[in-house]
């Protein structure tokens, strides 16, 4: 490895998207540093890279020795975040500390050495319930719960630090990312994790509302490609949507997965449709999604054993888990 090659610092590198990014960079023989507190990430996601990366277990919402990594020339991929809706309603301070204070500390660290570019994993949840589809980056910002708000606050900090301290960045607003290595434990959350565990246990899929609501599901490898193209591009200080280019109903997803269905109460604050306008990233970065939903689901089913130990969510358990959702989001 050439001595003056840049370092690749990945916060949240033991998580779902982060571990896929680590895999890509290791295959390219990059010098990778993973920073993760393992609150949602798993060391198991990094076991195949042992000896090939540097791993630092720490919480970036607290200043510490991790800041010493920000020397010389480096890229930063900031993926670390708490990312669940209900827990953010129950514990907003925890989400503020992780997603806002953590981002602030990271930005202050980025003022050291020579940062080449900061890539931020933003969330399409910042749009709330959009009124135009496909949704452009110029859509009105209207976060509906603390998770969405804190992710947008993180993005706003990055924009401001870029303006004042000349930190080049690209923020990618991700739409409904799915794929292998997604979290299999913890709180009620991502739809595919819930459905795949239900399929393994031969339980019916729990569809929220009518199931006619549609989502723009983006396969994780396409997201990784968006990050890689963004970091290589000469373009900086831009915000891009990252989606699949189409939208599909939840009911259709269950048909593709194969299994029985039951219906549970529709939740307030959830959009009937998410659908990214990706014309901007196509035009400026030349990025395009490659994995359609049919192919993505085939990959999930081929790797379904990954979700064998995931919690099995029944309507009764979901009702308890989402109690705060119905209480505060009316």
- Active-site annotation, residues: 147
d(CA 35, CA 118): 15
The HSE-up count of residue 265 (CA atoms within 13 Å, CB side) is: 12
End-to-end CA separation in angstroms for the chain? 56
Could you tell me how far CA 203 lies from the centroid of its own chain? Answer: 27
Could you write out the three-class secondary structure of the chain? CCCCCCEEEEECCCCHHHHHHHHHHHHCCCEEEEEECCCCCCHHHHHHHCCCCEEEECCCCCCCHHHHHCCCEEEEEECCCCCCHHHHHHCHHHHHHHHHHHHHHHHHHHCCCEEEEEEEEEEHHHHCCCCCCCECCCCCCCCCCHHHHHHHHHHHHHHHHHHHHCCCEEEEEECCEECCCCCCCCCCCCHHHHHHHHHHCCCCEEEECCCCCEECCEEHHHHHHHHHHHHHCCCCCEEEEECCCCCEEHHHHHHHHCCCEEEECCCCCCCCECCECCHHHHHHHCCCCCCCHHHHHHHHHHCHHHHCCCCCCCHHHHHHHCHHHHHHCC
Nearest 5°: CA angle at 90, between 85 and 94?
85
The total of other beta-carbon atoms located within 10 Å of residue 37's CB is 19
């Amino acid at each position: 490895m050439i001595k003056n090659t840049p370092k690749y610092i990945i916060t949240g590198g033991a998580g779902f998207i982060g571990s896929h990014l680590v895999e890509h960079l290791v295959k390219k023989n990059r010098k990778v540093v993973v920073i993760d507190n393992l609150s949602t990430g798993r060391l198991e996601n990094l076991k195949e890279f042992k000896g090939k990366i540097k791993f630092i277990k720490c919480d970036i919402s607290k200043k510490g020795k991790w800041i010493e990594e920000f020397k010389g020339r480096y890229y930063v991929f900031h993926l670390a975040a708490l990312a669940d809706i209900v827990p953010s309603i129950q514990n907003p301070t925890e989400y503020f500390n992780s997603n806002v204070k953590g981002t602030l500390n990271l930005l202050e660290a980025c003022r050291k050495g020579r940062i080449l570019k900061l890539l931020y994993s933003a969330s399409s949840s910042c749009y709330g319930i959009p009124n135009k589809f496909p949704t452009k980056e110029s859509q009105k910002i209207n976060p509906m719960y603390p998770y969405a708000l804190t992710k947008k606050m993180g993005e706003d900090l990055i924009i401001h630090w870029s303006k004042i301290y000349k930190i080049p960045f690209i923020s990618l607003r991700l739409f409904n990312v799915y794929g292998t290595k997604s979290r299999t434990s913890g709180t009620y959350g991502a739809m595919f994790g819930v459905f795949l565990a239900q399929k393994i246990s031969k339980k019916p899929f729990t569809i929220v509302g009518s199931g006619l609501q549609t989502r723009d599901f983006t396969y994780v490898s396409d997201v990784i490609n968006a990050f890689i193209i963004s970091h290589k591009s000469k373009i900086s200080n831009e915000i891009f949507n990252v989606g699949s280019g189409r939208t599909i109903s939840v009911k259709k997803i269950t048909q593709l997965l194969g299994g029985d269905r039951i219906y549970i109460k529709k939740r307030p604050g959830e959009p009937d449709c998410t659908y990214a306008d990706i014309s901007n990233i196509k035009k400026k970065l030349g990025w395009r999604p490659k994995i359609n939903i049919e192919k993505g689901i085939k990959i999930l089913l081929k790797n379904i054993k990954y979700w064998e130990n995931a919690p099995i969510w029944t309507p009764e358990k979901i009702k308890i888990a989402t109690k705060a959702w119905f209480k505060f989001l009316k």
